Chains A and B, each alone.
Chain A
């Protein structure tokens, strides 16, 4: 098989081009968001948040059919309800935020699975959960472009607020920063991106496109700006190779993107010259 067959030929198919474009667009915004998720230790919360989108999407499907906008809004509402609901629960009861989030999201997810079992039989729950690159429509692409562009623009404009809020929220507030606003905006962006990534990645695997490039970049960088850029770069690399892998091996697109990113992550975690496992084992052994 020639390099052309391997790397270029697959993109003679329209659905492959769409899938690639969608994954790369969301790789840009996901790579950015992932950095904040990782640095603020919200990785698991992001995971819970992604599961909680399901009932919103399923309900929108039941009510409005396949309209991209309806699915998007349904997912957004479900995600924000979970985020707000758990914030309220943790403030008004003795439940801590993680338990509140954990309980709410699993209820939402259960409701989502129940709802999808009521959907017309042609529809596959697996496509919701794990993504199907074949299904990326032109509307989905526009949505991905809007969400990705919006996220990147917000990061560019509010870069300093985001850095302060991520690194030292107390200092941010003490110097007049709108910490709560930045945080809520960040949660909203995360939900938007998760919903936009649903078609290609599936709601369960979408977070992989956010987290894996960011953790990998975290292992290499000593500056916030370079971590953001490397994270975007790795997300683009992983999604391109992931889409190709899914084509050649006949795998689900979301899964193969996550696998490619996972390989990058594994290599980083083991062999990063400053923060890798091999280095700390080596130094431990010498000492």
Chain B
């Protein structure tokens, strides 16, 4: 039943791996996500765009099954997000990390195996191999015993991407992966994401900056609590759409005047 089984090494396809149907999230009176209906093709790399508070993080959390929907539904393959958790790999924002924490790069990557270990189960040989494989793929094997502060920004980001790889999922959710990176580290990450796409990995990333999204992703989802547009990144980031999604920052008072959840 897994639609991904035969498609792992193929590019974007018509198969949809992720479906949102009229997904809505409200916190009390505040609507964080309004009536989102969209589908993410298997093996695509998608940037979730919008101004601050447009619902980017809420969307990611909802897909993770961590933020319950007020109404609507989300399907991953055929399953509810909470049942599809082993397929999801997550990379949090880097500003939440304490880089002085007494932990090595290998220690971070090993955390990727924790969710699939039972309470009294130790890391087995397969787990260690998966960790070694993730370190190898991201080229940080020789940094494995370093404390995480002793890395460059790009290497730090690679350590957390390796942890996501070690989780063994096939859908990668990245929360603002470019935030706080220097120019060199950004190019590194761009290169990695392009590679992942070529390998047919599905990536969904919250991205603040439209210019970066244009460079690194093939598809886009533009949010303004409702869905402004989704599809190929160049179409999504048309001047008209950007104006609609980002303009409100400068005139916050016409909220009610605008149509909700308008399609492109």
Contacts and interface: CB of A to CB of B under 8 A. Distances in A.
A174 B167 CA distance: 12
B102 A224 contact: yes
Interface residues of A, number: 24
B106 to A, nearest CB: 10
A164 interface: yes
Nearest to A274: B147
A170 interface: yes
Interface in A192-231: 218, 221-224, 226-227
A175 B104 contact: no
A247 B21 CA distance: 72
Contact of B90 (A157, A167, A175): A175
A39 B115 contact: no
A23 to B, nearest CB: 25
A171 interface: yes
Interface string A153-180: 0000110100110111111011111000
Given A175-B90, A176-B115, A167 B66 contact: no
Contacts of A163: 111
Chain B interface residue number, banded: 20 to 34
B137 to A, nearest CB: 19
B117 to A, nearest CB: 7
A32 B192 CA distance: 39
Given A167-B98, A223-B107, A227-B102, A173 B66 contact: yes
A167 B111 CA distance: 10
B120 interface: yes
Interface string B74-118: 000000001001001010110011100111100100010011010
B114 A167 contact: no
Contacts of B120: 157
B115 A218 contact: no
A224 B104 CA distance: 9
B17 interface: no
Nearest to B119: A157
B90 A224 contact: no
Nearest to B90: A174
Contacts of B96: 168-170
Task: Give the one of B88, B102, B120 with max A CB within 10 A.
Answer: B102
Nearest to A222: B147
A158 B173 CA distance: 26
A223 B97 contact: no
B133 to A, nearest CB: 19
Contacts of A175: 85, 90, 114-115, 167
B92 A174 contact: yes
Contact of A167 (B61, B85, B101, B173): B101
Nearest to B65: A176
B32 interface: no
Contacts of A227: 102
B102 A226 contact: yes
B64 interface: yes
B64 A168 contact: no
Interface of A: 39, 157-158, 160, 163-164, 166-171, 173-177, 218, 221-224, 226-227
17 contacts: A157-B119, A157-B120, A158-B119, A164-B111, A167-B98, A167-B111, A171-B90, A173-B66, A174-B92, A174-B173, A175-B167, A176-B82, A218-B102, A222-B104, A223-B103, A223-B107, A227-B102
